[in-house]
Structure 1
Amino acid sequence: MNLQSLRIITADIKRLVHFYEKATALSAKWFTEDFAEINTGTCTIAIGSTNTLDFFGGAIAEPASNKSIIIEFCVENVDDHYIRIKEITKDIVQEPVTMPWGNRSLLFRDPDGSLINFFTPVTPEAIEKFS
């Protein structure tokens, strides 16, 4: 089994897709005005408007209500990304810090309030784990 994508439902798809394009420095592929994807190479971030919920039978998800999931990206150098992320959001939860498990981590929120973690393995154990 392989995780292929993570889908985010939003009330403002253009705003959220634009944010993720800036945060990841990747371009989204738009399939309709209500659905776009950003492929990271290992996983796809799918972003759908609330209109897409009709295909699943109605109001099965609530935009901007995530309080338990952190979307995580392994990046080359988290400190370099921090400089760029500060330009696109003021909602920095945690500036870059090295965690006890060996990753240097930057935590911030997207416009809908979802937590995003950019991390870089920095200890030999963490580097080996992600190599």
Structure 2
Amino acid sequence: MEIIAGLLQTSILAGGVLALAALGEVLAERVGVVNLGVEGLMALGAIAGIATVIATRSAALGFICALGIGLAVGMIFASATVILRANQVLCGLALTLMGTGLAATIGKTYSGMPAPATFAPVAIPYLSEIPLIGHAVFTQNIL
């Protein structure tokens, strides 16, 4: 029973990140922008966040750094496709390849290191006590 609850909790935690990225991509596509570089943006933000957390031991500062990197690279993509009128598909694929490659290269240094600071889980009263799904669904971090 504990294994199933742990698997469910990890699935929700990992899937939440992908759901937020998918929601952002859906909103972008609603206005006519095809951004295939979401994976590269996520990889660059993730490596910037974990590098900042390891250097400063502050989860909030790592989150802000990841947001800043995502914002900066997103602005580069936006300026290339909107201002310079470059092909959105090609720019997105280039962003994916360059972002994941750069993140993998930088990430070799941090591979296997645990994060020294994380956001604390927030338990919702009464709902977090539901058997099997309570701890998995209602005891997640603030993000």
Tell me if both proteins adopt one fold, taking TM over 0.5 as the criterion: no
TM-score interval, normalised by the smaller of the two chains = under 0.3
Bigger-Rg structure (1/2): 2
Name whichever structure is richer in helix by fraction: 2
Name whichever structure is richer in strand by fraction: 1
**TM-score between the two structures when normalised by the length of structure 2:** 0.25
